[in-house]
Amino acid sequence: MKLAIDKLKFAYNGGIHGSIPVLRDVSLEALPGEVTILIGANGSGKSTLLKCVAGLLRPEGTIRLNGAIRSEPGNDKIGPQIGYLPQDNASRAVLTVFEAVLLGRIQSLSWRVEREDLILAHTVLEELGMEKLASRFLGELSGGQKQMVWIAQALVRQPKILLLDEPLSGLDLRHALEILDLIQAITRQRGITTVISLHDLNLVARYADKVVVLAGGRSQVFGEPAAVLTSETLGDVYGVRCKVTTDDGVLQITPLGSLRSLRLMHEECSLSLARASRH
């Protein structure tokens, strides 16, 4: 299912302070079978954009899913085809891991569970290597284990569009790589359109088919990792000087320091030299 976003805008209600614009002009395309990754500084609008696509917010502009406009009447069947993992997914419900994953299959308030739903929940837990946790309660899990439960809940819907907001939160390096390997494989095999927000730029370089840079509420750059993840672009977006190299065909990004810190160091050196010249 192709995702096309055109001139998207969204502002939160700031009460007495008026509206607070977050998305000012975002346009992009995400294709089936590809992993599209959103990057940008904190507050650039990544989470808000994913919420708009998931149908949780009502933006201005157009979101098209296979040509159908997301917000138009009659397109209410689109929602169940989207798997969405929010950034903060805390739950105090007394549920087992299996029950929490199974919730991803429930499409209405009827709570009716079919045999197929049970099989799919078991299958996803096996794919994630979590079958031994199935009978454990959520309150007994670590933060990283809970995060994997929410990823499983998104995958069990068998979505055509998969939206993951910082899915690696709380995961150690091995589990982070395993999750991204699995998401990449499922995206390819099932022809899913996957959109992820991530902060780890080396993982972005490794797993993204396309990268979208958000800055100032706008989609500033969009393209393949090699074209987007340049030292110039990363310096502009993050205010950090980076060295970008290639190792076995994969980009490697090494931060060299904050541009602000480097400017301050340069100014301090200049002042020291100026004082020394007076003496």
* pLDDT band (50, 70, 90) for residue 44: very high
pLDDT value, residue 259:
63
What are φ and ψ of residue 77, in 5° steps?
-80, -5
Q: Comparing 219 with 92, which gets the higher pLDDT?
A: 219
Q: In one letter, which amino acid is 40?
A: G
pLDDT value, residue 77:
57
- What number does CATH give the domain 3-89+154-225? 3.40.50.300
Exposure on the CB side of residue 252, measured as CA atoms within 13 A: 6
For the chain, the structural domain boundaries read 3-89+154-225, 230-279
How confident is the model over 183-233, as pLDDT tens digits? 999 999 999 999 999 999 999 999 999 999 999 999 999 999 999 999 999
Q: Comparing 76 with 156, which gets the higher pLDDT?
A: 156
pLDDT value, residue 195:
98
Rounded to an integer, the average pLDDT of 37-55 is: 95
How confident is the model over 221-262, as pLDDT tens digits? 999 999 999 999 999 999 888 999 998 888 999 988 876 655
- Single out the residue of 52, 53, 42 nearest to residue 198, CA to CA: 42
Cα separation, 248 vs 274, in Å, equals 46
Is 270's pLDDT higher than 60? no
Contact 162, 183 (CB under 8 A): yes
Is 5's pLDDT higher than 60? yes
